[in-house]
Amino acid sequence: MPILGAHMSIAGGYYKAVDAARACECDCVQVFTKNNNQWRAKPITDDDVRLFREALERTGVVAPLSHASYLINLAACEEIQRRKAIEGYVVEIERAAQLGIPGVVLHPGSPKGEQTDGDGIANIATALDEVHERTCDNIAAGAPVVTLLENTAGQGRNLGWRFEQLAAIRTAVNDPDRVGVCFDTCHAFAAGYAMETEEQYQQTLSKFDATVGLEHLRAFHLNDSKKPLGSRVDRHEHIGEGEMGLEPFRHLVNDERFAKTPMYLETAKEKRHGEEMDAVNLRTLRALIRSA
């Protein structure tokens, strides 16, 4: 059975995200450990940690995952921006470790001005090296916290929309064991990777395997797309209600290779007929699972 969950708000306390996840029948939960649009963050207290871990224990929600702030751009080369991004990302790893969260999802970054994609990739790799070295004793679940590079839709100059770019970052870092990938279905589709027919799905995953390697695919973001295949525009839609339709998700939730890979919704928080859409989307996904 796939491990299905969602991103949840930490407003009011980290444990609230876990309780909200349980209320929507999530198996797993993703959180921001701080406001995702600000550099500043309140320190995490021992009580925050205790309540969060107790909530996981009590609810049985597994595979907590952190998503880094959108402000962090490790591709930046301008010194002040670059220091800010590196320091900001160190904090993200430290906060994840404090909460016992073993991985942080990171958007790789965007080159600026004269910088080439290659420059951007090299900057990301050296920035990750510094961050990972400085946080090597930030342990969660028995190992240093890992970075999960997220594939992007390729909007603007965002790197990571081609699997080759994710692979290039991974191979350029000193410690590739600290780097995995979080595969966002909407972003992959917007970037031009088709997954509708069985053949297209297998082809897309073969491309991922040949570049990054499926063994490094550590999490999924399950989102349908408001925009068409190859549009390079990132707009999430409820499962089965966008341009992707249900078929890609049917392939994914029935793929034995990902039976232990947590999958998180990042679709709009809203209600339909009084019910949270996360619950609706999870029901849609579970209905796609073929019984053995």
x/- site string to Zn ion, residues 140 to 169, per CB under 5 A? Answer: ------------------------------
Taking CB atoms, the residue at the shortest distance from Zn ion is: 221
* Nearest distance, CB of residue 106 and Zn ion, angstroms: 11
Nearer to Zn ion, 89 or 183 (CB): 183
Extract long-range pairs of 122-127: CB within 8 Å, 24+ residues apart. 122/172, 123/74, 123/75, 123/76, 123/77, 123/82, 124/74, 124/75, 124/159, 124/169, 124/172, 125/169, 125/172, 125/173, 127/74, 127/82, 127/85, 127/86, 127/89
Nearer to Zn ion, 145 or 182 (CB): 182
Cα(31)–Cα(66) distance, rounded to whole angstroms?
Answer: 5
Number of residues that bind Zn ion (CB under 5 A): 3
Cα(9)–Cα(32) distance, rounded to whole angstroms?
Answer: 7
- By CB under 5 A, name the one of 184, 196, 224, 234 that touches Zn ion: 184
Nearer to Zn ion, 170 or 221 (CB): 221
* Nearest distance, CB of residue 221 and Zn ion, angstroms: 3
* Nearest distance, CB of residue 49 and Zn ion, angstroms: 25
In degrees rounded to 5, what are phi and psi of residue 239? -60, 125
User: Can residue 34 be called a binding residue for Zn ion (CB under 5 A)?
Assistant: no
Count Cβ atoms within 10 A of the Cβ of residue 208 and give its class: 0-12 exposed, 13-18 middle, 19 or more buried. Answer: buried
* Dmax (CA) of the chain: 55
Nearer to Zn ion, 7 or 251 (CB): 7
Cα(25)–Cα(4) distance, rounded to whole angstroms?
Answer: 9
Nearer to Zn ion, 218 or 221 (CB): 221
Nearer to Zn ion, 21 or 122 (CB): 21
* Nearest distance, CB of residue 191 and Zn ion, angstroms: 12
Please, which of residues 212-271 interact with Zn ion by CB under 5 A?
Answer: 221, 266
**Which residues form the interface with Zn ion (CB under 5 A)?**
184, 221, 266
